[in-house]
Structure 1
């Protein structure tokens, strides 16, 4: 070493001792050049360069000094090739395919000792991820053909350890229980597995930090959790240094010209002298940005300058409003099936107008509620010299947006039926909807056809046509309905509100009355064996503020409908039917949504209200009370259900919205049909509760299954309900 420092040597020769690797490659990679100057630091650098080739298990470099310079000898031991797929011995809990994917060793690759070591580490990591601790992994390299080996991993699987205890140290202001409730890793309990998730443990630390900062401890320090393993149990120790608690001090604004200080203070979620909550402070800042974006000030900058004063945090919001942005162009991208005008007519952001965030959100809602897009992303183009922008709506079309089905179905009423069903909400990409259905069985023949034009003559008027033929066998008679309806709806002056009108013509006839049929004291079916004609006019209002109509999380739906049928021209049926319905959706926590629904109805007539226009509650559908068979709840006369002239239904649903296409729910229903509204009594409402799922499947639509328990049945018990495109969808 001292000689190298005192004298300068020239590299006279470089030789290589290798079996298979090209010697010139080794010399070139090492960095040694014959005739070049030699430095001692070149040796470790050359070794590093050669190891980077990932070809060798061992490398050494020897030097010798001769009269004409330095002679260098490089010795390498090549790593063998992996001749076949690695094998695993002792893996019972994890499949071979998962292990192979984790270690990523391929047949034919060079197998260095480092690669084997890394693979062993990865296997242990995989077992740790699945909560198998104390796993031992050994390797065995067996020679195969020339310079090829087989590789075996011998695994001694550890045991799954449960979290027996979580200890919190250093917490004085917040209780152990409050902190633990913020964690995803929980101690083993009756309904908790107690499995440790290392990735979630890191998230737990951040959750605890956020929890403390929401309670004024802005300088909280949380050490990395300590995990202790003993006797097949885990203990997690979390050490906390709370530091000082802070309160909200003075709040000031500077630079606000568009909004008054009073307006901005109303948006605040924090107040002076209360405990400083970092989440509320961030939400307040977000509200400021949203308010400015609603007025087009998308370049606005708001900086909360925080000043510590003893235990108080004074905040001054320094606002640079900049200038508002207008919209140059509205561009639609990603619609390969739907025509552009179908999307564009739903958009309320128009070229040449001020950019407003609320209008972008409204446009996204309207596009999504068309029902044939699974994702909508708004983007802005590069601003021009004036700061104006292009607004781009990127849509992703659903695959299999329509539904087609054929098969067999069974119900207690209709027995076994075969059906063919086809529906599509976007015929030829025009946004027009079509629906056809054919059902044939021993007790039912049902043919339906429907067509809807959502924008008649490119106006906001919706028009539709429905035709139907139904021949259904009931207990003592057969009922045949032939009819059609035209319907129109158009926007009302109130936002989100529409007026609807339907004119319906229907021919109804009772056939094949059984000999054993006995009329009730109030009604005789034999009067309806002569065909009866109905001419009905339906007038109604709907107000729909739901965020998404197919699987809503917020908003409400209100409907007030009246159907009036009078014996005029050739008609001979008289009735007046009124219904009111409201549904409200409340996001309560995480992905949980609470839905409350109320439906009421009254039907009257100067004569007798026809059986088929009366209310029958129970089962699913508009008048559903789950836990009871369809149409099973109504007044009874002489042992027969005769339908009610008044209806009351109340439904509560707690929905876990796991995705836009899948949800699980728990429900509580109560309702009944009554002889008339004067007979209504809360004590007569039938109660049902249970659970259900909703899933949207391409080409099939929305499938629903509910299992309800009827508390007030003659014999309380469960009733299953299977639905295709169920009422209310999600």
Structure 2
């Protein structure tokens, strides 16, 4: 039975409770206090205000144990301090700190592959820079990052060692010593598990490989994880495009030799078996007749399944739908695999979505150029359905104007209208006027002086106005030209050209005669497509011909025809230009055909036809294969027995057949001077492989190196006692091979070639080294 509680016991319990409460209050009062002031001790460089900004407590706040912990934690988090203590001096909160040292100097030695400035910039981004607080953990991270960068460059034998030296005023000097070592080279790649294709063929798919003669340029022997991943993906695509749908890469092993100079790669694969296409189906709601879609599928029943053919077929269907206004069309390829029969049934599921229309075409950024100049180039029109192809063509046409540094087109959806988009065209204008004055030199033309004033976008209308004055040792040219590219709303252009030119052929080709020519021309251009135009023109030309003392050919011509001529020409032309750039193109075609005839009633009656062709084929990302061909033919008619020889074609020199002096190939006068006279028929061409230099940098866009084979000559097809040889013979073609350099230097264009004439004749004027400066090339 429990003992009863007495009054005495109750009094004792009450006293004990009171004592505990007092002790609790005294302990609480001793640990907690209200802050009357805050004092920071130990600061050297860091301002007290900086510390106060990080404190979680202010004056008049109540400080307890958990607040003290927050103070220490907050100050440590700043990274400014090595040690933090919190004390109490009455009602004053005292914070003792020991600052971390500041970085006074950073020295990096031993680095050759990576520039010191680049390394310091990278260190600054990570958090280590002169003037900043030193943090040992940051230095450790920097060492790891340096190792990563050098490993990525193939320098697996590199080492890095950091030294921190204390200085006065709580500062340190950091020295990072790099031992780069040699770049590890890929010694061998092995593929195991391949049965249907030999290893040699598979390794041709790889960009990586053992060291070859051109590895200094291609860097194919520099191992990188990203490069290997790309090569493995190329290997996988190779098999999947040949029906091996179960192909797998089972293992990839990369090992490095003990001296860390050689790398070996072993790739294990499981080819699987070849699957064929059992059926091809279209599903969904194409919104376009299937008769138009099936021809876009380049797959056949019974053929080997190809992932590439399937994806490209889906892309073509999606592109067609996009051009028909279904901007958000989705085409999915769904293969149904029959493992037993080793076949695949391919279903193209088409979800066109809604047809999308263009609400507005908005122009932005054209502060000088009028809206109509941009709008007339647009192939995507308002209220028409959206076409990705027309948007792309619109951007290309705007860039070809030459008025803008950049053209950007966006097609945002109209809020609340899923079937409407806007076409926002944003351009960045560049100066379209030029005031040029220059001096140049060419081996063929001597010193060149040129001055021109041109405005390709006159008053923002898109019209072209220019005046030019050019002179050299052999030529003087004065020219005024005007062209309205949109004389009509359909894009028919109209232009006028006034020019006066004097030519001393004795200075240019060594022939003893000269001409003064004045002309006035009007021409029209008719657009045929986005890349081709036709032209028609009429020209009046006045020619004053001067015969020298030693040219029997010139004297004979004057005796038969006189020396002053008023001629009226009709001209026609066709041009197609699909190059990706007018300077240093890498793909596309340039073709031009030009014909002119002096109409009956002219003092001289003759015609000329010229063809110029260029084809650029990208072989790799850097190398471009170029083909060039030029052909010309002219003849007289009516009372003029042959084309005037001062209108002849010439060959030899830069831009023609390198390795021979300019204009020197072909027939010559049968006089003691043996002057070249050109011919009424011309054929030249070249095959050239060119690429930017391997040095990279700014020269990627301004310098091209090439290797070429040139051929060509001119012929005088009519019989003559004053010229030899005459007649046409392909055996007269001259050939040369050599190296070329073209540089868009800051002060002008420079073209250099070293050519070896392969089949030069005894009386040919050879010129192995040729250059031109200050002219276009």
Is the shorter-chain TM-score for this pair beyond 0.5, marking a shared fold?
A: yes
CA–CA separation in structure 2 for the residues paired with 1:397 and 1:706: 37
CA–CA separation in structure 1 for the residues paired with 2:440 and 2:575: 37
Q: Any conservation in 2 of the 1:406–1:421 contact (CA below 8 Å)? A: no
Q: Any conservation in 1 of the 2:369–2:462 contact (CA below 8 Å)? A: yes
Question: Are residue 673 (structure 1) and residue 705 (structure 2) matched?
Answer: no
1:117-170 Cα offsets, whole Å, 9 max, x none, are 122223333433444332222222222123222222233332233223333344
**TM-score, normalised by the number of residues in structure 1:** 0.82
Alpha-carbon deviation of 1:288?
1.1
Give secondary structure in 1 for the equivalent of 2:105: coil
- Give the match for residue 222 of structure 2: 195
1:240-290 Cα offsets, whole Å, 9 max, x none, are 333534534322111244334443232123444444433333222211111
Give 2:173's match in structure 1, choosing from 140, 143, 150: 150
CA–CA separation in structure 2 for the residues paired with 1:208 and 1:60: 62
Give 1:611's match in structure 2, choosing from 645, 669, 683: 645
CA–CA separation in structure 2 for the residues paired with 1:417 and 1:133: 56
1:385-416 Cα offsets, whole Å, 9 max, x none, are 2612212233344567747241242433x433
- Give the match for residue 722 of structure 1: 772
Give secondary structure in 2 for the equivalent of 1:720: strand
CA–CA separation in structure 1 for the residues paired with 2:96 and 2:330: 64
- Give the match for residue 687 of structure 1: 735
Question: Are residue 226 (structure 1) and residue 254 (structure 2) matched?
Answer: yes
Alpha-carbon deviation of 1:597?
4.3
1:344-377 Cα offsets, whole Å, 9 max, x none, are 2122222122222332233233222223334433
1:29-56 Cα offsets, whole Å, 9 max, x none, are 9xxx965789xxx99x999876643235
- Give the match for residue 124 of structure 1: 147
Classify 1:270/1:398 alpha carbon distance in 2 versus 1 (closer, same or farther; 3 Å). Answer: farther
CA–CA separation in structure 2 for the residues paired with 1:685 and 1:646: 12
Alpha-carbon deviation of 1:432?
2.6
Which piece of structure 1 moves more, 268-277 or 482-491?
268-277
Q: Any conservation in 1 of the 2:660–2:757 contact (CA below 8 Å)? A: yes
Give secondary structure in 1 for the equivalent of 2:345: strand
Give secondary structure in 2 for the equivalent of 1:388: strand
Q: Any conservation in 2 of the 1:347–1:363 contact (CA below 8 Å)? A: yes
Q: Any conservation in 1 of the 2:498–2:519 contact (CA below 8 Å)? A: yes
Give the structure with the higher percent helix: 2
Question: Are residue 712 (structure 1) and residue 759 (structure 2) matched?
Answer: yes
Q: Any conservation in 1 of the 2:442–2:772 contact (CA below 8 Å)? A: no
- Give the match for residue 565 of structure 1: 598
CA–CA separation in structure 2 for the residues paired with 1:157 and 1:597: 48
- Give the match for residue 503 of structure 1: 538
Give 1:108's match in structure 2, choosing from 117, 131, 141: 131
Give 2:524's match in structure 1, choosing from 484, 489, 501: 489
Which piece of structure 1 moves more, 691-700 or 464-473?
691-700
Q: Any conservation in 1 of the 2:645–2:680 contact (CA below 8 Å)? A: no
- Give the match for residue 79 of structure 1: 100
- Give the match for residue 415 of structure 1: 446
CA–CA separation in structure 1 for the residues paired with 2:402 and 2:754: 27
- Give the match for residue 567 of structure 2: 535
Question: Are residue 347 (structure 1) and residue 378 (structure 2) matched?
Answer: yes
Classify 1:207/1:147 alpha carbon distance in 2 versus 1 (closer, same or farther; 3 Å). Answer: farther
Classify 1:411/1:396 alpha carbon distance in 2 versus 1 (closer, same or farther; 3 Å). Answer: same
- Give the match for residue 69 of structure 1: none
Which piece of structure 1 moves more, 711-720 or 246-255?
711-720
Alpha-carbon deviation of 1:424?
4.5
Alpha-carbon deviation of 1:631?
1.9
Classify 1:302/1:282 alpha carbon distance in 2 versus 1 (closer, same or farther; 3 Å). Answer: same
Give secondary structure in 1 for the equivalent of 2:417: coil
CA–CA separation in structure 1 for the residues paired with 2:241 and 2:73: 50
CA–CA separation in structure 1 for the residues paired with 2:390 and 2:371: 19
Alpha-carbon deviation of 1:707?
4.7
Q: Any conservation in 2 of the 1:301–1:320 contact (CA below 8 Å)? A: yes
CA–CA separation in structure 1 for the residues paired with 2:110 and 2:620: 44
Q: Any conservation in 2 of the 1:439–1:446 contact (CA below 8 Å)? A: yes
Question: Are residue 316 (structure 1) and residue 347 (structure 2) matched?
Answer: yes
Structure 1: state its 5+ residue gaps.
1-8, 62-72
Q: Any conservation in 1 of the 2:586–2:624 contact (CA below 8 Å)? A: yes
Q: Any conservation in 2 of the 1:534–1:565 contact (CA below 8 Å)? A: no
**TM-score, normalised by the number of residues in structure 2:** 0.77
CA–CA separation in structure 2 for the residues paired with 1:637 and 1:155: 72
Q: Any conservation in 2 of the 1:489–1:498 contact (CA below 8 Å)? A: no
Classify 1:154/1:669 alpha carbon distance in 2 versus 1 (closer, same or farther; 3 Å). Answer: closer
Q: Any conservation in 2 of the 1:487–1:500 contact (CA below 8 Å)? A: no
1:560-607 Cα offsets, whole Å, 9 max, x none, are 433111463xx5222122234444455555465544444333211133
Q: Any conservation in 2 of the 1:182–1:204 contact (CA below 8 Å)? A: yes
Classify 1:121/1:548 alpha carbon distance in 2 versus 1 (closer, same or farther; 3 Å). Answer: closer
CA RMSD in angstroms, aligned pairs only: 4.2
Q: Any conservation in 2 of the 1:409–1:419 contact (CA below 8 Å)? A: no
- Give the match for residue 244 of structure 1: 272
Q: Any conservation in 2 of the 1:102–1:122 contact (CA below 8 Å)? A: no
CA–CA separation in structure 1 for the residues paired with 2:675 and 2:466: 35
